Amino acid sequence: MKVCVFGAGNMGARIAEVFLTNGHEVTMIDIKQEFVDRGVKTITNDLSFLVKKEKMTEERKNELLAGLKTSVERSAAADADFVMEVILERMDLKKELLKELDEICPAHTIFATNTSALSPTELAASVKRSDKVIGCHFFNPAQIMKLVEVTRAIQTSDETFKTAFDLMTSLGKTPVSVQEGPGFVVNRILIPMMNEAMGIVADGIASPADVDIAMQLGAGMKSGPLHTADLVGHDVNLAIMETLYRETGDPKYRPHPLMRKMVRAGWLGQKTGKGFFTYDGPFGKEIPGGDLTVR
Q: Which residues does the annotation mark as catalytic?
A: 116, 137, 149, 187
Q: How many Cβ atoms from other residues are within 10 Å of residue 58's Cβ?
A: 10
If you ran DSSP here, which 8-state letter would residue 269 be given? B
Per-residue burial over 158-173, b = 16 or more CB atoms within 10 Å of its CB, e = otherwise: eebbebbbebbeebeb
Q: How many Cβ atoms from other residues are within 10 Å of residue 45's Cβ?
A: 10
Spatial distance between the Cα atoms of 114 and 145, rounded to a whole number of angstroms: 14
The distance in angstroms from the start CA to the end CA of the chain is 51
Q: Coil, strand or helix: which one is 156?
A: coil
* Residue of 134, 113, 236, 244 lying closest to 182 (CA atoms): 244
Spatial distance between the Cα atoms of 8 and 289, rounded to a whole number of angstroms: 32
